[in-house]
Structure 1
């Protein structure tokens, strides 16, 4: 089992050793970037396959829609797949 570690790097070290720090993320390490001794950012590896998911999950409107859908599901305001298909067919028939 591979252990993931966290590395702390200040902004100066990041500037001077960017390539080396990025290679650490390729090995699964998360890098905490510090500025004046305080954490400012987290650097971690992302693949092309994960990029779209990351963008969607961090987009404010998408997050709001997910929260809204969750609230609706808790209150029973849901639509079955059959209902959705029927409504879609009706809309397409009108086109």
Structure 2
């Protein structure tokens, strides 16, 4: 169900969601399985195995007790990059005005 604060529209029985809202949806689904841990590592939420950013080109290796163990095609860094690349460029502009953080 769509909340009142979304800018999504229903057109011809299809839900149209602006591109920047897809980033929110993508992060929601990504964070079900992954978290960003300390020292630039991604951590599996199921087994707590981690992978440093320097190994982003390698498939993620889960602990053998993990329900995700054995999946060889998981690249969480690439998934995160795809989500972040979808953000609008204005999201990266420094805040201005009286309420900005210094």
Q: TM-score over 0.5 for the alignment?
A: no
Structure whose CA Rg is larger: 1
Q: TM-score range by the shorter chain?
A: under 0.3
Higher helix share: 1
